[in-house]
Structure 1
């Protein structure tokens, strides 16, 4: 696949990762720091991928906007419609308005063990397909969705999204890519990501919680 323009939605921190509450301590501020760290590490890995030409974060959270903008990431607010899929569609529309002849891709924001080379390999594997996706580690969700130039992204993220994307005509991509597939929704997911190697921001948030 040619270099893609990538969209990554990030929820408001107070609403993000509700099943992960307590993983960084009981303080709500600590939970917000963890949710933000997951996004930071995901975005950093994606920006380092060779096949990502432009990365756009969609978020209306002021802290997310401030921190990621300070890190050199472009952030636009959510569009008029609520929800994750609307955020993906809004971001893809913004990117396509600027460069209509470029493939677009949608990436989850909770992949703290993602490696740039994994994302590059998955994007390369999507070459030749109108739409393709990478299922998550459980095989039911979606970590990455791609759309070739001129093809509607048509995101269907949510419960059972892997089956929904396949039913919509997207091709499931085959590859190991453990960090790409390891999204984090629960403490067990976070532990599994830890075995793969967490990004620096997530490690930093979790370090005070580690037992001696």
Structure 2
């Protein structure tokens, strides 16, 4: 597989990230869980065979340190500018080429599933493509070919917003990619798929060995 994609992963400050998960692990600090979700996501993206570069957009020092040590490029975020602004900032930093924006809460992500989705985004019409989350209302992945702005619409009902903006839905059975984590129920479902090592350690579950490899 050819490494052609730059993937932008925006990560909020840990103290305000994933607010609906606060208290999900009573014996662990909330910030530790938010960081684990982001690090496991970024690590899986770095292991994806079609990804050439990973840009983490954040103004959180711990996120910058941990994801940078994992191998990502860290781009300083502009405080209070919002998720979509962070994605646009990362895409502008990346420059020309195949660009994707990915949410930072995919702790069960398998590199092979991400590779399949990104490869699907390069087939068919030359346009922006989006992948809905497991419930079908949100968006976990937004991709664009060279010369086409990402024009992200992440947020509430973002799948419909991306469709209305002209993006085409990606169709594929990629459960680990579509399983973002906003609630304790989501976290339990991600655990059934197999969590990445950082999140698994916090949750007291066994991290997969072969499942997260390509």
Q: TM-score, normalised by structure 2?
A: 0.91
Deviation by residue 1:16-46 (Cα, 9 ceiling, x = unmatched): 111001112166xx11010000001100111
Moved over 2 A (4+): none
**CA shift for structure 1 position 206:** 1.4
**CA shift for structure 1 position 204:** 0.7
Partner of 1:169: 166
The within-5 A match list for 1:1-212 is: 3-25=4-26, 30-79=29-78, 82-96=81-95, 100=96, 102-127=97-122, 128=124, 129-207=126-204
* Aligned-partner SS, 1:75: strand
Between 1:119-128 and 1:72-81, the stretch displaced more is: 72-81
Cα RMSD after superposing both structures: 1.5
**CA shift for structure 1 position 79:** 3.4
- TM-aligned CA distance change 1:79 to 1:121, over 3 Å: same
Contact 1:5 1:54 in 2 (8 A): yes
Contact 2:20 2:183 in 1 (8 A): yes
Contact 2:40 2:107 in 1 (8 A): yes
* Aligned-partner SS, 2:198: helix
* Aligned-partner SS, 1:156: coil
Deviation by residue 1:173-200 (Cα, 9 ceiling, x = unmatched): 1101000000000000000111111001
Greater helix share, structure number: 1
Q: What runs of 5+ residues in structure 2 fail to find an aligned partner? A: 206-214
Q: TM-score, normalised by structure 1?
A: 0.91
Deviation by residue 1:92-128 (Cα, 9 ceiling, x = unmatched): 00001xxx2x110000000001100000000011114
Question: Matched residues in 2 for 1:26 and 1:86: separation?
Answer: 34
**CA shift for structure 1 position 65:** 1.0
Question: Matched residues in 2 for 1:80 and 1:139: separation?
Answer: 29
- TM-aligned CA distance change 1:66 to 1:94, over 3 Å: same
**CA shift for structure 1 position 2:** 6.7
* Aligned-partner SS, 1:112: coil
Question: Matched residues in 2 for 1:4 and 1:131: separation?
Answer: 14
